[in-house]
Structure 1
Amino acid sequence: MIQELDTLLTQDEIQLDIEEIILKNKDNKIKGWKDSMNYLYNFSIKSGYIQEERLKLNIILPLFYKHQYDIGFQVTINCSKPEIIVGQVVGAAHYSNFEGECVICFENVGSEKRKGLRAYEFKCNQSILFRQFPPYPYFNYHNIIIDKKHTPQILSRNTIIEMLEMSESMPSYKIASNTDRVGTGATNLAHRHFQAGDHDFTVFYAKPLKEFKINNGDITVQWLNYPCCCLKIIGENKKLVEEIVFKLFNSWRNGTFETLDVSLQTCSLMSTLNIKNNNYEFLIFPRNAQQPRFLTSSTLQCIKKEFVGIFELCGFAILPGRLKEQLLQLNSILTLNENQLNDQLKEKLNQFGFIEFYDWLSEYYFNGFDNSKSIYDNLTFALQKSFLIILSDNSPIKLNQFELLNSWIEQSKILE
């Protein structure tokens, strides 16, 4: 019998309750994972681990469609979590006060420092993983899935196998992995983990620029018309999808590309089982850790200094909370300066400590200013435009680099 939610429930009791929920719904996998996550989410709210009030501080802008891709991008300003910049110490106690070897180690579950944290353990491809909610979820059912063993984040064929296995056991849920190279998304490379959630990501609606049919049409590989390079592998046969994904992953990782440092090659990944057609859909975003070549450009560093992660690659921008106040202050400065781009604006920005925004305002705000909208609305529009450029900045293959993409496909030998 599933117990009533009680903040005193131990990790073992929570584990048994979730196992019971999943067993009860063994013939309805979707209901099983959703009910079990609702149970854990409600406990995490009641225990105070998820700070729901802080989530209400976040700003979610309307979907952004004014671009060439004909899909809606979601830009958010996340005011509930600190801005995490590699090389800088995070001030929030959650990130600096932990048990075990790092902040996501299993030793934190139910510990004195994380009294309200509980998790669900499960076996996947011979590994013991556990999933837990972060204190500040980005969207519906946002979970972190973590190796119970503190082991480094290293992408391999097993990563692909595990993602597909989890997709099979949790249909429609999105399983994602950041990279294993500094500067390409992951903030914790010391401990292997996945990101996951039930968000309706923009990238799944992107149309193909080019399409390849493999194994008599059993597998489709699409190069998507999207700001950053993404290959979408579609197929009903899990093993075939795994083989094609691994060939592409391995050839990107170990291939020969004249313009790229192969030692810095890596990928961001996402997998799901589409319940509408029973196809696995696996996304590969090629990455390269060469800096600053494939980092957010200097003009856009004022918007996002953090590395771009997998959810953002999928079209869900997670911009720092400081922008909430900064946009209001920029609105005031521009109003004082009669919305003019001149030396006086530069002086005012410098006076108020906003000089790093000058080039951004020049390129993204004044360029394309809409007189029918307010200054603030034009600022948020510039923010949305900037996100698409940030995605492109972080991609080692641009939309017009057909030769580089074709070289990758050829070296993978998926068409043989």
Structure 2
Amino acid sequence: MSKLIKTFVEQVVESPHSVYTKMDSIYLVNRVLALVGEEGADRETAATDLIDLKDELVALAVENGRCGALFEERDCLGAELMNVITPPPSVVNERFWTIYAEQPEQAVADFYDLSQKNDYIKLDAIAKNIAFETPTDYGNLQITINLSKPEKDPKAIAAAKLLKQSSYPLDQLAMENEGYQGRLDHPARANHRIIRVDLGEEQWGFQYSPYAYFNEHCIFLNTEHVPMVISRTTFEQLLELVEIFPGYFAGSNADLPIVGGSILTHNHYQGGRHTFPMEMAELDHQFTFAGYEDITAGIVKWPMSVLRLTGADKTRLVDLADKIRLAWSGYSDPDLDIIAKTGDEPHHTVTPIARRRGQLFELDLVLRDNHTSDDHPDGVYHPHKDVQHIKKENIGLIEVMGLAILPPRLKEELAEVEKYLLGQDNQLADYHKDWADRIKATHPDLTADTVTTIVQEAVGQVFARVLEDAGVYKSDEAGQAGFMRFVESIGVTG
């Protein structure tokens, strides 16, 4: 056992990321005392991990009345405590680019390590997620039930309503989040750091996602608050990012409602070191676009409508990608219910994803259409009503690539489905009953040992259907013929 505050300060000084030395120990003790209070400052602890020590200090602060008991209040204090091992932005950036000049992958690895060690990436929360894979006709799809983000306490919601409304920072992607203390209605960011990156004539930021959905899940954000727009510049920047960050993919949500992401008001991309099912999918049809014989092109065997372009010359890839984007923006096929515009309202855009394969660059363009109809008021190419009991939210970049981010309600709801299938007392949600009955009919011999696997496989099959719903050109003969008509309208040589 050792003294709590003394051990915390020792860990701060010993951290390879900290700017403090042993000479700063007394100063650090006093700064921590100012945050958590002096009562109980000499208590002992068995913890040695810095984040565990931080949690104990937060609990002490609550006892001492220095911090409220709500999650949001404790999180703000926790971020402030972890700020002591987090160098200022200027130091973080100077270290990153100095190391990058000799060892790019090491620079990225060090920044990722800092973002974990200072508790900006919420590893304990992420570990709560339920994750599994399911075999489908399109390969193994990846499923995550997202349990990492804490649900809002009703008391916190009520307290936040009493606060004076603030528009600072403008959103959770704004540069002004770096070092922001946080409040009941905005997350703590005292320990948040952003690497500055020049993309063409624009300055962007590189940061990690605090509640990551996959390995090294990162965000690239425009340092200016400008809306998302898919353009030629988008393709240029995505290809540049996968060159700057070895081993990372970079992709963008679409820029239209229904098919776009949750934050359309601030231009940003996502990336990381993860292999998605779509990346592993092979080409179903291969051809060459006229005038672009140096680029391999084809339709990906995938439930959504994906054109894959592969080549060594980034500029040539950008030229072809933008030609396809512009062609798609005005292309309609009424027989297949593909509508480019309603009046002046555009319906067509793309979800682009870039990656490297050795010395080659690869760009996937996922065709998107966001028009609605009387039968499908949520979107013709959006999850249809019969699958919304599992997934009704927008199909964004991550889902497009084959990783389902499912709502936390499903943890309890699927447990009730399992009880229903086993003939046990249950509280099955009405909207799951038809689906559960189909599972029961196809698996009459399921047991307590197999029911979880069977239900998870059924969830995966629903997600495959979700992606099929979002696919503009279906996998049937008519759909694939229509896809080739679009391709041929651009011009192919074989």
TM-score (norm 2): 0.72
2:487 partner amino acid: I
Structure-2 separation of matches of 1:328 and 1:218: 52
| SS at structure 2 position matched to 1:336 | coil
| Superimposed CA distance per residue, residues 106-138 of structure 1 (whole angstroms, 9 cap, x where no aligned partner) | 000112221011110110021111011111111
Q: Secondary structure at the match of 2:240?
A: helix
- Confirm whether residue 178 of structure 1 aligns to residue 253 of structure 2: yes
3-state SS of 1:226 partner: coil
Residue 4 (str. 1) matches residue 4 (str. 2):
no
| C-alpha deviation, 1:15, in angstroms | 1.1
303, 306, 330: which is aligned to 1:227?
303
| Separation (CA, whole Å) in 2 of partners of 1:122 and 1:132 | 10
Q: Distance in 2 between matches of 1:253 and 1:281?
A: 22
Confirm or deny that 1:77 pairs with 2:145. Answer: yes
Q: Distance in 2 between matches of 1:307 and 1:17?
A: 38
Alignment check: 8 A CA contact 2:145 2:410 kept: yes
Matched to 1:411, the amino acid is S
User: In the TM superposition, what are the counterparts of 1:200-239 in structure 2 within 5 Å?
Assistant: 200-214=275-289, 215=291, 217-239=293-315
Residue in structure 2 matching 1:16, options 72, 84, 94: 94
Code of the residue aligned with 1:139 in structure 2: it is F
Larger radius of gyration: 2
Per the alignment, do residues 305 and 137 of structure 1 end up closer, same or farther by CA in structure 2, a change over 3 Å counting? same
Match of residue 354 from structure 1: 429
- Structure 2 residue runs of 5 or longer lacking an equivalent are 1-14, 19-82, 183-188, 341-345, 372-377
- 1:98 CA displacement: 7.5
SS at match of 1:17: helix
Change (3 A) 1:17 1:256: same
Cα separation, 1, equivalents of 2:253 and 2:204: 16
Q: Say whether the 8 Å CA contact 1:296–1:304 is kept in structure 2.
A: yes
Given candidates 401, 406, 409, the residue that maps to 2:484 is 406
Q: Percent identity?
A: 24
Equivalent position of 2:366 in the other structure = 285
Q: Which one of the candidate residues 306, 315, 318 is aligned to 2:405? A: 318
Report if the CA contact (8 A) 1:37-1:141 is conserved. Answer: no
Following the alignment from structure 1 to structure 2, what is the Cα–Cα distance between the partners of residues 179 and 106?
22
Give SS of 1:115's match.
coil
2:128 alignment counterpart? 57
Match of 1:328 among 396, 403, 415: 415
Partner of 1:341: none
Provide runs of 4+ in structure 1 moved above 3 Å: 96-99, 214-217, 413-416
CA separation of 1:221 and 1:362: change in aligned 2, threshold 3 A: farther
- Structure 1 residues 370, 125: closer, same or farther in 2, change over 3 A? farther
Q: Which residue of 2 aligns with 1:110?
A: 179
Q: Is residue 306 of structure 1 aligned with residue 397 of structure 2?
A: no
Task: Name the TM-score, length of structure 1 as normaliser.
Answer: 0.85
Q: Give the gaps of 5 or more residues in structure 1.
A: 26-31, 85-89, 338-347
AA aligned to 1:53 is D
Aligned residues of 2:120 and 2:210 also touching (Cα < 8 A): yes
- C-alpha distance 367-318 of structure 1, shift in aligned 2 (>3 A): farther
Answer yes or no: is 1:121 the counterpart of 2:169. Answer: no
RMSD of aligned C-alpha atoms?
2.5
Structure possessing the higher relative contact order (Cα contacts under 8 Å, 6 or more residues apart): 1
How far apart, CA to CA, are the structure 2 residues paired with 1:356 and 1:403? 35
| 1:269 CA drift (Å) | 1.0
